[in-house]
Each structure stands twice: as C-alpha cells, then as structure tokens.
Amino acid sequence: MSFKIIKGLSDIWEDYNGYVVDLWGVIHDGKVLYPDVLRSLEELRTLKKQIVFLSNAPRKSIFIKERLSDLKIDPHLYKGLITSGDDALGAMIETYIPNFGCHAFFIGGEKDRHMLDVPGLKEAISIEKADFILGIHTFSWEDSLEDYMALLEKGLKKNIPFVCVNPDLIVHIQGEELICAGTLADWYESQGGKVFSHGKPHKSVYERALNVLEIENKSKILCIGDSLRTDVTGAVQQGLDVAFIPAGIHKFECLETGKDLPFEKNLRNVFQKHGKVPTYVLPEFKR
C-alpha cells in the first residue's frame, strides 16, 4: 500500500496542470467555505492551472454555480462545473424515458423538484403508477433508511428501476451525518432491485470533466475528493492521480479508528478497510 502525505497543493504544483475537484467536504461543508479555499483557488489561477469542479450534487449545475457565487467563488476561478444532476438529465431524455416510460416517482426535497423539468417526463403520484423511481435526495434531512423501506419494497414488488442522481451514501453538514439517495439506492439494489446511478465514480462524468480540461496527458491531471467510495474509486478507475481529504466524509471514521494510532497508520487501516488507496493524502484544500 503506497501513498504520500502532503502538507498542501504547493508540494506537487509542478506535477499537475489540471484539477478535478469535489465540492462538498473539500471546498465547503454545506454551509461555509473551508478557511484556505479562496486563497488557494486564486493562487492556482495565477499559476494558470485549470480547475473543473465535479460534484455529486443531484441538481442542475446552474444552481450549484449560483451557490458557489454566494460563497464568493466566482466563475473566473474555475473552467467548468459538472454535476451528477446534469448527467442524469441527459440520460432521462436519451435512455430512461424511451426505455422505462415517462412516469417517475420522485424522492427528494422541494428544492430538488426542478429535476422533474424534463421534456416528456411526468411525475407519478405513487410508486404503483410509476415506471421508475427518481432518487434525488431524501424528503427531509432528518430521514433515515428505515423511513423508506416500505415505500421501496413497493418498487421492488413492481420491479421498477431506481435512478439514483446522487450515489453518495452520507453527507456531513457542520458536523452532523445525514443520509443521501445513495443509501436508498444501495438498499434497493441489495434487495434485488435494478439501480442506475449518476455521478462519481462512473465514467461518464469523468469523460465530461476531461473534455472541459482539454489536457491530453492524464498524468498531468489530479483529482481531489473526500470520498473513498466515489472520488478515489472514480479517479483510479479512469487512470488519474487522486488526493484524498480525510477531514471530509470519512472524518468521524478516521478519528474513531485513529484515536490511539499515528496518523499514517490510522490511514492505512481505513484504506485497507475500504480497499481503496489514493495517490496522496491532503489534510485540507490549501496551497
């Protein structure tokens, strides 16, 4: 098991020209930016490095772009923004509606309902009337998997597919751990249901990111993320180097596992548990 712990991006600036960067858990915590983010982005821009944000946000990228602007991350700081929501919208038009049918049972919050705004798509009022389940998020942040089992069992009985627009299992919002649509999709699949997921770690979103970067040599591109399951797995599968940030989605696990262990040994235990090893470990997104 080989990985390198770096203090900041400046340790490896000379090695990379392009960056594929996660948002939640790397750039912000769902509410506020992490301390060194703006300064680091400005410095990367000064060095003429290209940045594409690649997020499993189950929304159209225009809404995430607005959110970034609210956080003072202006468009001049990055070359592109790709979301799992964008990827799923295209697939619904090209694949799901023609092959499954046009009636989707929506699972998500009110702010996620724009994902139903797809030509030819209709919202099913119940699972029984649905051609597929469209899993954006949970109905409420406070929900647990158990709240959805009876509902999902109806989908299993009808044998309809689950389209998951955010394969992340959990998210941390200012220290609180909450489930995402990926938790529902994983359970659905474990019970024999058919699941179609969008976003990291799947190939299509990385292809879109690389097309935006326009850097032919993959060895000059670094991915940065906080999830071993999505960020690290996706990068490795695409032959890209990846820097893992342990203070994000795995922070509780890392802290619990490593209470009495040296940092590097603790990381080795976590990586071995998940069967994923990054190229680098970066404590936080900073220069």
Q: Model-level pTM? A: 0.93
The counts of H helices and E strands in the chain are: 10, 14
Which H or E run contains 171?
strand 170-173
Q: For each of the chain's 287 residues, which pLDDT tens digit applies?
A: 799 999 999 999 999 999 999 999 999 988 899 999 999 999 999 999 999 999 999 999 999 999 999 999 999 999 999 999 999 999 999 999 999 999 999 999 999 999 999 999 999 999 999 999 999 999 998 899 999 999 999 999 999 999 999 999 988 877 778 899 999 999 999 999 999 999 999 999 999 999 999 999 999 999 999 999 999 999 999 999 999 999 888 887 876 655 555 678 889 999 999 999 999 999 999 99
To the nearest 10 degrees (0 to 180), the angle between helices 203-213 and 84-91 is 110
Q: Alpha-carbon distance 286 to 1, whole Å?
A: 25
* Structural domains in the chain plus CATH codes: 4-56+201-281 (3.40.50.1000), 101-197 (3.40.50.1000)
